[in-house]
Structure 1
Amino acid sequence: MTIGSLKPAKEKRSRKNKQLIADEKVPLLPTKQVEDGGFDEFNGASYTGAVFNLSTTIVGAGIMSLPATMKVLGLAPGIAMIVFMAFLTDASIEMLLRFSRAGKNTSYGGVMNDAFGKYGRMLLQVCVLVNNIGVLVVYMIIIGDVLSGTTSSGIHHAGVLEGWFGVQWWNGRTIVLLVTTLGIFAPLASLKRIDSLRYTSALSVALAVVFLVVTAGITVYKLISGGIMMPRLLPEATDLTSVLKLFTAVPVLVTAYICHYNVHTIENELEDRKQIRGVVRSSLALCSSVYVMISLFGFLLFGDATLDDVLANFDTNLGVPFSSLLSDVVRVSYAAHLMLVFPIVFFPLRLNLDGLLFPSARPLVLSNVRFAVISIGLIGLIFLGANFIPSIWDAFQFTGATAAVCIGFIFPAAVTLGDHHGIATKKDKILCIFMIVLAVFSNVVAIYSDAYALFKKNGTPQ
């Protein structure tokens, strides 16, 4: 045996002696070495694939709420806020990456452990669990609503499959979600490398663009035919109630770009890890463009009739040729988009649950049993939640929004303010104070508005 061959072995023993926490210091999947001691053919993820994976992490169900924020804020302030939040997200991720390098950490959990100890890491992991489980349950509920239909307040809204084939045993919610889970979610969730999802992520982004193109086409047609009135450029603030209503749009915009829990995983698989800053900025630029265009065309198309979930507006006659066909294209493309977003959000969920339950175990990818048990357990939990607790949407508006802003803004800002490595500037700290105030404020507004709406609903006489 040569001296050169001894060096890696010594490094491995050194790392083992330090008892590094698996999800803190070790990438999810070793770049070269595989379980049997051999080497695979993976030489690193491409820049383009990383951009698509991070963009898919960002663009989820929240995109459907953005046109409603234009109704509340008006076009000019609404679009300005979308762009502003993109820059604020870029700043928070840059701080997170900077402190990662200073502490030689390869995960978000490692940064939190470095700054606040194991309880900081565990708090982050719990927030990721709360946020991602809530998001994935909501995704599955929406998929069920779009494909199988839903009944609300005694009114039945037919799903796409019900509209095409009528009421059948096989297009009920439970069967549709079961087939989707076994045929799409389970196979994609079984992939051990996030870069393996680059093609489905690219397709997911393309489906979001399909929704954008169809909406823009309908809007342009109605503009030419004179079927659209000039939208409000500024908000209507005539009394205290209307002023307070403006702030209900803040939580939607604050959580629109949450992707921080996947940044390190994507960086670890990059062929050149220095490209991560370019990947983040390219993804934010792409998603911001999609957000602005969908907000603009969605609000132009429906005006003050824009619903909280603009997808619900497509359940009516759009007043254009082939209205029914276009509505189906929009709804099916959106449901397919969510199906492909699911594994990207599921990936960090599984990783953080494993880190919380087995902090000292070897990397998850090297234990097929642990990998399978955690994957099956989480998918089963999400499936049950979507089928038997549909009102869970309201519950996760309280917990999910709070966890999301902690992940995206409060934790990166707290790490920077703590400045364990002495690398934060005065400008950084001022920006961090602003981020924490904005995040806390958005949480208070979200909880207040949701509680007020819930109590008002329950207090309405029947």
Structure 2
Amino acid sequence: MNKCVENLTIQAGDGHRPNREDEDETPLLTQVVGVSRGASFTSSVFNLMNAIMGSGILGLAYAMANTGIVGFSILLLLVSSFAAYSIHLLLMLCDQTGMTSYEGLGEKAFNKTGKVLVACSILIQNIGAMASYMFILKSELPATILSFLRTEASGVWYEDGAILSVLVTLCVVLPLALLPKIGFLGYTSSLSFFLMLFFAAVVVVKKWSIPCPLPINATLSQVSNSSALDCSVHLFVFSSKSAYAVPTMAFSFLCHTAVMPIYSELQQPSKYRMQNVANVSISLSFLVYLVSALFGYLTFYAQVDSELLLGYDAYLPHDVLMMSVRLAILLAVLLTVPLIHFPARKAILMLFHAEREFSWFSHCVSTVLILTLVELLAIYVPDIRHVFGVVGSTTSTCLIFVYPGLFYLRLSTDHIRSCTSVWAIVLMVFGVLVGLLSLAVIIISWVNAY
């Protein structure tokens, strides 16, 4: 029983020290990866946090409004714990097989079928992530421009988020994404965590700047009078909208495709050391997510928007601090989209152009096709929660819960009744059930709405 508990807690903060076996793994990993180590523990934590934190932070307040404070906290803790444990399984498989990529583990487990399955999941996940970022840009950029100009909406072209999104894609995102190497943008990624901290701090501060009951005539969406006057806090909420909660959380904690590259560059790499990197990164992200969701919910209550920043537009249109937050989020989005595009293009080229040498034609065509699809999703999807819900309930749950458990059961030599195998089954079953249930409820809600 103690061994089971130790495995479940993933050696987090229990004073455990690397044993001889862990120390002996370092030379083997060095031989397998064949690269020099220079990344410190702290820099690795920030790298993984940059992979974790993204647009999902804007949808968590909406998830809390539809699950309740206690319900949301329990679900967020459960998802983050399972995310950490699935990383534990991936690290074990990485050392056992010598693979250094998620696609490699899929190929090792199920040959080409597994590799294609993982590549397709990564492609869909990254397209969904880029679409969510461009949706934020489409929603926030017009309001940001109007805030700086200090003018009211008058129907001019720069108030159309779709037009601005296309222009930014053509003038900024496309040229950067077309580069064969985009490593220099990696230097800006360290800013993302501090931008998210800034966002969370502003959400906390602005909770006391917006009164409750909320002014009905200032709301952005059509709500009832009772909803506008409702300032009560709900501990548990159950409705059809609750189905978006876990997929949004899964979308928000997905970092598993970055774990093995960070592991391979870690100083003195071992499962214990990399697991601590993951535990610290997920714990800090959990705190930022919880604080921003809690105070976002306590600001707007039942009227909280599925994209949190939209809720501030009507009440604080020319607030300097909110203008700074919008700029920070837009900057993070603008610099992140080209970076997310690269693994998506890598996946699509691997599926259709795997055995050929580099071709500028294939490179450019795949780039344009991906960005076109992203733009269509960002423009025509009416609500960002649909992106979080569909992508989160399918590819996110697979990459976080289903694949790590399935690959471990396929590749590990442990007995099926061993503690680790049992938890791998629990992880896999949780992912399948949550994904199918959430997707079914989301589809039913769409059918009823139309």
TM-score by length of 1: 0.74
2:312 is matched with which residue?
314
Distance in 2, Cα, partners of 1:445 & 1:402: 11
1:181 aligns with 2:169: yes
Deviating more after overlay: 414-423 vs 179-188? 179-188
One-letter code aligned to 2:320: L
Distance in 1, Cα, partners of 2:80 & 2:392: 20
Q: Could you tell me which of 341, 345, 353 is aligned with 1:346? A: 341
The CA deviation string for residues 202-245 of structure 1, in whole angstroms up to 9 with x for no partner, is 21222212211111112256699xx9998535214xxxxx4666
1:40 is matched with which residue?
none
Give, in angstroms, the shift of residue 47 of structure 1: 4.0
Distance in 1, Cα, partners of 2:90 & 2:173: 30
Q: Could you tell me which of 357, 361, 385 is aligned with 2:376? A: 385
One-letter code aligned to 2:113: Y
Secondary structure of 2:306's counterpart equals coil
Give, in angstroms, the shift of residue 316 of structure 1: 1.8
1:142 aligns with 2:136: yes
Distance in 2, Cα, partners of 1:184 & 1:423: 52
One-letter code aligned to 1:161: I
1:116 aligns with 2:110: yes
Distance in 2, Cα, partners of 1:147 & 1:410: 37
Give, in angstroms, the shift of residue 143 of structure 1: 0.6
One-letter code aligned to 2:56: G
Q: Is the 8 A contact 2:48 2:255 kept in 1?
A: yes
Distance in 1, Cα, partners of 2:305 & 2:278: 31
Distance in 1, Cα, partners of 2:200 & 2:293: 9
Q: Is the 8 A contact 2:247 2:389 kept in 1?
A: no
Q: 1:424 to 1:290 in 2, by over 3 A?
A: farther
Distance in 1, Cα, partners of 2:294 & 2:322: 18
1:62 aligns with 2:53: no
Q: Is the 8 A contact 1:350 1:374 kept in 2?
A: no
Q: 1:116 to 1:95 in 2, by over 3 A?
A: same
Distance in 1, Cα, partners of 2:362 & 2:42: 27
Q: Could you tell me which of 364, 385, 401 is aligned with 1:373? A: 364
2:332 is matched with which residue?
337
1:261 aligns with 2:235: no
Unmatched 5+ stretches in structure 2? 1-30, 216-228
2:196 is matched with which residue?
208
1:409 is matched with which residue?
401
Q: Is the 8 A contact 2:244 2:442 kept in 1?
A: no
Distance in 2, Cα, partners of 1:264 & 1:295: 29
Q: Is the 8 A contact 1:215 1:297 kept in 2?
A: yes
One-letter code aligned to 2:261: T
CA-atom RMSD, angstroms?
A: 3.7
Give, in angstroms, the shift of residue 298 of structure 1: 0.9
Q: Is the 8 A contact 1:50 1:279 kept in 2?
A: yes
The sequence identity of aligned pairs, in percent, is: 25
Q: 1:341 to 1:73 in 2, by over 3 A?
A: same
Distance in 2, Cα, partners of 1:117 & 1:235: 44
Distance in 1, Cα, partners of 2:158 & 2:116: 42
Give, in angstroms, the shift of residue 287 of structure 1: 1.0
TM-score by length of 2: 0.76
Secondary structure of 1:310's counterpart equals coil
Give, in angstroms, the shift of residue 370 of structure 1: 7.4
1:426 is matched with which residue?
418
Distance in 2, Cα, partners of 1:433 & 1:55: 27
Distance in 1, Cα, partners of 2:181 & 2:318: 41
Distance in 2, Cα, partners of 1:292 & 1:171: 33
One-letter code aligned to 2:79: M
Q: 1:189 to 1:245 in 2, by over 3 A?
A: closer
Q: Is the 8 A contact 1:414 1:432 kept in 2?
A: yes
Distance in 1, Cα, partners of 2:111 & 2:389: 29
Give, in angstroms, the shift of residue 108 of structure 1: 0.8
Distance in 1, Cα, partners of 2:179 & 2:266: 17
1:160 is matched with which residue?
144
Distance in 1, Cα, partners of 2:45 & 2:167: 29
Q: Is the 8 A contact 2:80 2:253 kept in 1?
A: yes
Give, in angstroms, the shift of residue 333 of structure 1: 2.6
Q: Is the 8 A contact 2:178 2:367 kept in 1?
A: no
Deviating more after overlay: 422-431 vs 125-134? 422-431
The CA deviation string for residues 130-149 of structure 1, in whole angstroms up to 9 with x for no partner, is 1211221232122112113x
Give, in angstroms, the shift of residue 121 of structure 1: 1.0
Deviating more after overlay: 129-138 vs 442-451? 442-451
Secondary structure of 2:253's counterpart equals coil
Distance in 1, Cα, partners of 2:68 & 2:392: 26
2:436 is matched with which residue?
444
Q: Is the 8 A contact 2:40 2:267 kept in 1?
A: yes
Give, in angstroms, the shift of residue 400 of structure 1: 5.5
Q: 1:215 to 1:58 in 2, by over 3 A?
A: same
One-letter code aligned to 2:289: Y
Aligned residue pairs total: 400
Q: 1:51 to 1:217 in 2, by over 3 A?
A: same
Q: Is the 8 A contact 1:53 1:195 kept in 2?
A: no
Distance in 2, Cα, partners of 1:197 & 1:26: 27
Distance in 2, Cα, partners of 1:265 & 1:69: 31
Distance in 2, Cα, partners of 1:421 & 1:118: 21
2:187 is matched with which residue?
199
One-letter code aligned to 2:310: A
Unmatched 5+ stretches in structure 1? 1-24, 33-42, 149-158, 237-241
Q: Which structure 2 residues correspond to residues 89-104 of structure 1 after superposition, within 5 A?
A: 89-104=83-98
Q: 1:129 to 1:404 in 2, by over 3 A?
A: same
Distance in 2, Cα, partners of 1:188 & 1:267: 27
